[in-house]
Amino acid sequence: MKIYSTKFKGLKIIKIKKFNDLRGSVIKVFNQNKKYSKFNCFESYISFSKKGAIRGLHGQLGSHSQEKLIYCLEGKAIDFAIDMRIKSKTYGMIFKKNINSKNSTAIFIPKGFVHGLLALEKETIVVNFCSKPYNAKKEFGVNFKSLKIKFPKIKFLISRKDKNLPYLNQFKKK
C-alpha cells in the first residue's frame, strides 16, 4: 500500500497492492495500521450504478461530518470531492480522480468535504466506508452542475433530490 498526499489537506490517494494467483486476486482495501488517518469505519455502503449515474455531492454538517474511504470494485467512475472547510486554503476547490476496478486505487476523504461520483460504465460498483453514521437531518449537498469541469458526453442519470441541490456559489454554512 502506497499513500500519496494531494494539495487538499488530509485527502489521500492510496495505491493498493493486488495479490494475484491462479485463483484470481485479493486486495486489502482498509488497513487500520496505515497512518493516513485515525479512521474508524462505522458503516459502509456499496453503490451499484448504471452508466451516467451521478451520486452526490453529499456531506454531513458539524459533528456528523464523515471521513470516507472510497474504492471501485467494478467498472469505472470519476470521483469528486469539494473542500467545504471554510478556513481551508483549498476551500471550494474540486478534487477529481478516475477510479476503476483495474487500477487498485482508493481515495481517503477527510471530514469537511462533499463527495460524489459519475459512473462511466454500465455496471459500476463502488464501496464507501464512512467514519460516522449517516444522519439525514445533518446532510447537505452541492449540485454537480456547479462543478466547472468538462464532463464526458453521456446521458446523466440523477435523482430528483440531487438535481435540486444548491450550486456551489449558493452554498451558505448551515
What is the pTM assigned to this prediction? 0.90
Confidence of residue 56 (pLDDT cuts 50, 70, 90): confident
Separation between Cα atoms, residue 112 and residue 57, nearest integer Å = 12
Q: What is the pLDDT of residues 92-145, one digit of tens each?
A: 999 999 999 888 899 999 999 999 999 999 999 999 999 999 999 999 999 998
Average pLDDT over residues 17-22: 87
DSSP string, 31-78: -TTSTT------EEEEEEE-TTBEEEEEEE-GGG---EEEEEEESEEE
Q: What is the pLDDT of residues 26-36, one digit of tens each?
A: 887 776 665 55
Average pLDDT over residues 26-51: 79
CA dist 134 → 1, 90, 105 (Å): 28, 25, 24
Average pLDDT over residues 43-67: 93
